[in-house]
Amino acid sequence: MVTDDAEAVRRNLLTGFIPGSGLPIFDPPPPDEAWDAVEAEGTAYPRLSLEFWTSKQRQASNLHEISYRACYKPQLPRHFIERLTRPRERVYDPFSGRGTTAIEAALLGRRVAANDVNPLSRMLAEPRLTPPDPIAVAQRLKEIPLRGTSDALDLGMFFHPDTEAEIRGLRDWFLGRQASGGLDDLDTWIRMVATNRLTGHSPGFFSVYTLPPNQALTAEKQRSINAQREQVPTYRDTHALILKKTKQLLSGLGAIQRQNLSLAAQDARFLTGDARETTMLLEGCMALTVTSPPFLDVVDYTGDNWLRCWFTGLDAEAIGRGISTPRTVVAWSETMGTVFEELYRLTQRGGFVAFEVGEIRRGKVKLDEVVLPLGLRAGFKAHGVLVNSQTFTKTAHIWGVGNNDKGTNSNRIVLFEKG
């Protein structure tokens, strides 16, 4: 049974949080059957299940089109950034991934902070705050050699020999520039795009056909795909594809958005480390956190990124040892409980945390019900849960996984406020 206080929370959820924001969530109000309640710490909190954001509701900026395993749509952070913050307030993501929250916040004129234990996250996110002129990208690409240093790593199951030579040329250029201190914004942009184009399932990628462009298979599995499809890697012009992807990412980027990105870049904070220990961030500096943590052992971040780590000179095994992947709900809760304590320290009075989780174990475990008491114990007050329900997930179908069958295909956001 939802309490009278929870009924008042319902009205907050429906009308927006910033007075005069002009952003009601629903008109008309959702039907009664869309509501249920979650019990936590002796109190019932409202949970509202509807379609809050889909790709058809609002076209997101092309700048987000960087593939990364287990990432949410930019409409999700936008939903909360617009309603819970004002321009130039700081928005944070402690599990940044490809940087969706940071990029969307910057596009909306907010200051940004992001953290992720995987250094690839910063490499993929930070360059997009300083988008280049495609002409400058083309000129820089002409300076990069088309051949690079060979090593013992066999990549022939993924790339044509000439394509591989170009990839190694790019790799040598970035590693050399980084070692000499000459790596600049143009280099980091090109490295970001090239890292994103390494493997995929269309001619827009450097590789022969492989699984979706958010992970690299093992060499053995790729050989198996090649045999099953009777395919061999054909030549891909890496420099031309980098330039093409650059233009696609920048397509539709307006003058105001560019100005907002530039302002955000001036004092953006991109950290690489444990979300439980971000002492370099000041107490009470965040107006809003929008984040999605690793979900138990559902995703193999290290195994997915081995090729990207090789290309960027990172140690995939060392990164894997630093990534927390608790395999039980109890262990996961202990880790997230400490994260919430740190988020409470970072959040300003009147600030919010929108904590996105999903369903695991074939839907038997709804992590919003696990998260709600964790935030309360850290000192936050809870507004309730928003569940973005959807009936089709493209990536899930590519993988042969039915929607809400394995992993997580729904967004369950627990909304907290620091009183």
Q: Is the per-residue pLDDT at 98 higher than 90?
A: yes
What is the mean predicted confidence (pLDDT) over 318-338? 87
- pLDDT score for 245: 98
Q: Answer whether 414's CB lies under 8 Å from 376's CB.
A: no
In this structure, the answer to whether residues 239 and 277 fall within a common structural domain is no
In this structure, the answer to whether residues 275 and 344 fall within a common structural domain is yes
CA-nearest of 26, 202, 188 to 122 is 188
Distance CA 342, CA 319 (A): 22
The widest CA-to-CA distance across the chain, in whole angstroms, is: 69
Higher pLDDT, 325 or 357: 357
Q: Is the per-residue pLDDT at 251 higher than 70?
A: yes
- pLDDT score for 406: 44
Asked if residue 200 belongs to a domain, the reply is: yes
What is the mean predicted confidence (pLDDT) over 319-342? 89
- pLDDT score for 360: 77
In this structure, the answer to whether residues 172 and 231 fall within a common structural domain is yes
- pLDDT score for 407: 42
- pLDDT score for 327: 82
- pLDDT score for 56: 46
- pLDDT score for 334: 96
In this structure, the answer to whether residues 67 and 169 fall within a common structural domain is no
Mean pLDDT of the chain: 87
Q: Is the per-residue pLDDT at 2 higher than 60?
A: no
Treating both helix axes as pointing N-terminal to C-terminal, what angle do 134-143 and 185-196 enclose, rounded to 10 degrees? 90
CA-nearest of 269, 413, 286, 281 to 351 is 286
Instruction: Please write the tens of the pLDDT for every residue from 190-221.
Output: 999 999 999 999 999 999 999 876 678 899 99
Q: What is the DSSP string of 102-128?
A: HHHHHHTT-EEEEE-SSHHHHHHHGGG
Q: Which of 161-175, 258-272, 346-360, 389-403 has the lowest mean pLDDT?
A: 389-403
**Residue 60 belongs to a domain with what CATH number?**
3.40.50.150
In this structure, the answer to whether residues 109 and 181 fall within a common structural domain is no
- pLDDT score for 325: 72
Q: Which amino acid is at 216?
A: A
Percent of the chain with pLDDT over 70: 84
Asked if residue 364 belongs to a domain, the reply is: no
In this structure, the answer to whether residues 234 and 145 fall within a common structural domain is yes
Higher pLDDT, 139 or 295: 139
Q: What is the DSSP string of 58-72?
A: SPPPGGG----TT--
Asked if residue 267 belongs to a domain, the reply is: yes
In this structure, the answer to whether residues 33 and 101 fall within a common structural domain is no
- pLDDT score for 50: 84
The position carrying tokens 């990164």 is: 319
Percent of the chain with pLDDT over 90: 68
What is the mean predicted confidence (pLDDT) over 152-174? 97
Domain count, the chain: 3
In this structure, the answer to whether residues 31 and 67 fall within a common structural domain is no
CA-nearest of 120, 141, 110 to 246 is 141
Asked if residue 150 belongs to a domain, the reply is: yes
Alpha helices in 268-388 (DSSP H): 301-304, 306-312, 316-322, 329-346, 367-378
Q: Answer whether 288's CB lies under 8 Å from 89's CB.
A: yes
The structure tokens listed for 254 are 């307006």
Q: Is the per-residue pLDDT at 346 higher than 90?
A: yes
Instruction: Please write the tens of the pLDDT for every residue from 23-41.
Output: 555 656 778 888 888 999 9
- pLDDT score for 26: 61
Distance CA 185, CA 340 (A): 34
In this structure, the answer to whether residues 233 and 271 fall within a common structural domain is no
In this structure, the answer to whether residues 150 and 225 fall within a common structural domain is yes
Q: Is the per-residue pLDDT at 92 higher than 90?
A: yes
- pLDDT score for 318: 87
Higher pLDDT, 302 or 222: 222
- pLDDT score for 404: 44
Of the pLDDT bands very low, low, confident and very high (cuts 50, 70, 90), residue 319 is confident
- pLDDT score for 310: 96
- pLDDT score for 370: 96
Domain of residue 26, residue span: 1-44
What is the mean predicted confidence (pLDDT) over 103-108? 98
Q: Is the per-residue pLDDT at 12 higher than 70?
A: no
Of the pLDDT bands very low, low, confident and very high (cuts 50, 70, 90), residue 271 is very high
What is the mean predicted confidence (pLDDT) over 93-115? 97
**pTM reported for the whole predicted model:** 0.91
In this structure, the answer to whether residues 273 and 348 fall within a common structural domain is yes
Treating both helix axes as pointing N-terminal to C-terminal, what angle do 100-107 and 75-84 enclose, rounded to 10 degrees? 50
Residue 36 phi/psi, 5° resolution? Answer: -145, -165
In this structure, the answer to whether residues 27 and 114 fall within a common structural domain is no
